[in-house]
């Protein structure tokens, strides 16, 4: 049987742009701020993630991040590994935060498409059910979550 042509080129070496972005991503999540988040994003960024509608553009993306930071002010992400190129960069990570006075952790993989070293598109992949279960099992955190949900969004 003849070999099939590969419709997508396969990169065998990571690019400097991808490696630099992963480093900046990891550094950002050590001390996340809205300003730092915006610096990583392209003005026309598109973010897709479980538990939230897609965010299109830097203002919506900033509002999404601000909501996460308001809900989980101590959130940190540790990069576990990565692979790819600026066109298809995958970062595996573990998030940790506090909700309802107790720690919460979850694992995910983000797929990025970079443009000029900044995020043009990000799709987050994780099983949201354990995170939702944790939130539902901690009623001490519900008043804070409700205040965050009802508060006007800050975009920086």
The tens digit of pLDDT for each residue in 17-66 reads 999 999 999 999 999 999 999 999 999 999 999 989 999 999 999 999 99
Which CA distances in Å does 137 have to 19, 48, 104? 38, 26, 11
Beta bridge partners of 46: 56, 121
Q: What is the pLDDT of residue 85?
A: 95
How far apart CA 45 and CA 66 sit, in angstroms, is 16
Which CA distances in Å does 134 have to 88, 100, 129, 137? 31, 9, 9, 5
pTM listed for this prediction: 0.84
Share of the chain above pLDDT 70, in %: 87
Contact 42, 62 (CB under 8 A): no
Contact 62, 38 (CB under 8 A): yes
CATH topology of domain 16-150: Nuclear Transport Factor 2; Chain: A, (3.10.450)
User: Does residue 155 register a pLDDT over 80?
Assistant: no
8 pLDDT band, cuts 50/70/90, is very low
Mean pLDDT, the chain, whole residue set: 89
Q: What is the pLDDT of residue 7?
A: 47
Please report, for the chain, the start and end positions of each structural domain, with discontinuous segments joined by +.
16-150
């Amino acid at each position: 049987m003849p070999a099939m042509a590969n419709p997508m080129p396969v990169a065998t070496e990571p690019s400097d742009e991808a490696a630099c972005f992963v480093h900046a991503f990891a550094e950002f999540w050590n001390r996340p701020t809205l300003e730092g988040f915006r610096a990583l994003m392209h003005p026309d960024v598109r973010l897709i993630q479980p538990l939230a509608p897609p965010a299109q553009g830097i203002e919506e993306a900033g509002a999404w991040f601000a909501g996460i930071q308001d809900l989980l002010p101590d959130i940190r992400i540790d990069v576990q590994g990565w692979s790819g190129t600026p066109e298809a960069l995958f970062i595996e990570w573990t998030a940790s935060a506090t909700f309802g006075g107790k720690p919460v952790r979850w694992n995910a993989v983000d797929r990025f498409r970079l443009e000029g070293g900044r995020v043009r598109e990000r799709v987050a992949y994780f099983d949201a059910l354990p995170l939702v279960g944790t939130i539902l099992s901690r009623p001490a955190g519900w008043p804070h979550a409700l205040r965050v949900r009802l508060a006007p969004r800050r975009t920086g």
